[in-house]
Structure 1
């Protein structure tokens, strides 16, 4: 297992958090290349100073995994030179979560059960969206690339897990990157007044077991990770080799 002192490299920003380079993770004898792929929470609150900082990354493409209404309500602020690619994954359990948090009896277990539904949805209903993300990653003129959702935790976390797995990372490395959100995400989401503490902790935390369950659910119908990448995500042997050539060093 790799140590927290190695990475991830996270940008300190005024109006956004959890913006980090997925580079640096060791995969066999190689490492993920820095400066090519970034993950983040929402970019809607970037300040002018933030735009300068983010602009220095040289981003070409910003993939927005938020739902259509989410994106319209809080449009991303893009640094100069970057274009937005909408890859919407609607927050299918959002209304259920709001109803649940509005009750004084909500528990952490209740929240985790709803989040499990969401994570399994990423794996079984939305792989075609992540295929769009891989298509962009494979196009050299679209990199450097950043992808994000609202918190940069769930939809973005699953996307990063797919990318690292496609590059050959082991499950422990995938989970280490996922759990780094605990250190870098500022919990600025307003929760309903009176939300029970255990429910709030569950909603605002990371859940490695759910990520693992989602990865397993994505793979299961295909029999192997290799078959899932080829049949569901369009990554045949040649494209996976090209992805590794581009993103490993």
Structure 2
């Protein structure tokens, strides 16, 4: 849908467990927006997008900054901890196996749940406070963005199987950055550049076992009040 960004898509169109459809044209997800073409910028303007919600860490944002006319960028920084963990292993002379890398990703998703809930709370609150089309993203639009999408669709009562389906679309839509080709072994990149059900299940297990389920998690660590949860459904679900 965009030339200079991949993994861009509308979260609208899914039906929730009551048969109500998520509104189209309101919330979009993407990878980073620093390489958009002029036609891409016009496309975002045509969609009416007013805010970009950026989950990238401080260094990532500084390395690939962007500014879009008519779009306010909101920093919701979550540092890419899997990179730091990978570097720590390499500094010890350890080359992670594919299984090691999967477990690093699973731990990253557990951290999303247990350490980054307030950031995701600000994300959901911003959608409530700015009822206009918005796009949210990180660098690849797959992990931080993917979990944010999971929380939003869960708040809208979309069935888990459909939520996982949207999550896994990244494997079809994300275009890998050729500049990162030589930075890690091939078997590590094959894990890092994709999403797996195991990553998502690690997060959902934490939500269930440590926080009492998704509704309790949204009300507790994420910080949405009952009225806010009802309001986000009112705004983003068709009648």
Structure 2 gap ranges (5+): none
Q: Secondary structure at the match of 1:26?
A: coil
1:101–1:156 CA distance, 2 compared to 1 (3 A): farther
Q: TM-score, normalised by structure 1?
A: 0.88
Q: CA deviation at 1:228?
A: 1.3
1:52 is matched with 42
Aligned to 2:108: 118
Q: Distance in 2 between matches of 1:38 and 1:110?
A: 32
Does the C-alpha gap of structure 1 residues 104 and 221 become closer, same or farther in structure 2, counting only changes over 3 Å? Answer: closer
Question: Which stretch shows the higher mean deviation, 48-57 or 33-42?
Answer: 48-57
Is residue 146 of structure 1 aligned with residue 126 of structure 2?
no
Aligned-pair CA distance for 1:191: 3.3
Q: Does 1:163 align with 2:152?
A: yes
For residues 42-101 of structure 1, the C-alpha deviation after alignment (integer angstroms, 9 at most, x for no partner) is: 0011112211112211111111000011101111342x3210111000111213324657
Q: By how many angstroms is 1:159 displaced?
A: 0.4
Query: Quick one: which of 175, 191, 204 aligns to 1:215?
Result: 204
Structure 1 stretch displaced more, 82-91 or 185-194: 185-194
Aligned to 1:228: 217
1:30 aligns with 2:20: yes
Alpha-carbon shift at residue 235 of structure 1 (Å): 2.1
| Contact 1:58-1:81 within 8 A present in 2 as well | no
Aligned twin of 2:168: 179
Moved over 4 A (4+): 98-105
**Once superposed, what is the RMSD of the aligned Cα atoms?**
2.0
C-alpha distance 99-193 of structure 1, shift in aligned 2 (>3 A): farther
**TM-score, with structure 2 as normaliser:** 0.91
Task: Using the TM superposition, give the Cα deviation of residue 232 of structure 1 relative to its aligned residue in structure 2, in angstroms.
Answer: 1.7
Q: Which moved more, 1:90-99 or 1:109-118?
A: 90-99
- Which secondary structure does the structure 2 equivalent of 1:146 belong to? strand
Is the alpha carbon distance of 1:101 and 1:185 closer, same or farther for their aligned partners in structure 2, counting shifts above 3 Å? Answer: farther
Aligned position for 1:75: 65
* Contact residue 107 and residue 202 of structure 2 kept, 8 A: no
Shift of the 41–194 alpha-carbon distance from structure 1 to 2, 3 Å rule, reads closer
Q: Give the equivalent residue in structure 2 for 1:7.
A: none
Q: Is the 8 A contact 2:34 2:66 kept in 1?
A: yes
Q: Which residue of 2 aligns with 1:245?
A: 234
Q: Is the 1:109–1:199 contact (alpha carbons within 8 Å) kept by the matching residues of 2?
A: no
Deviation at 1:189?
4.9
1:95 aligns with 2:97: no
SS at match of 2:77: coil
Once residues 185 and 211 of structure 2 are traced to their aligned partners in structure 1, the CA distance between those partners, rounded to angstroms, is 40
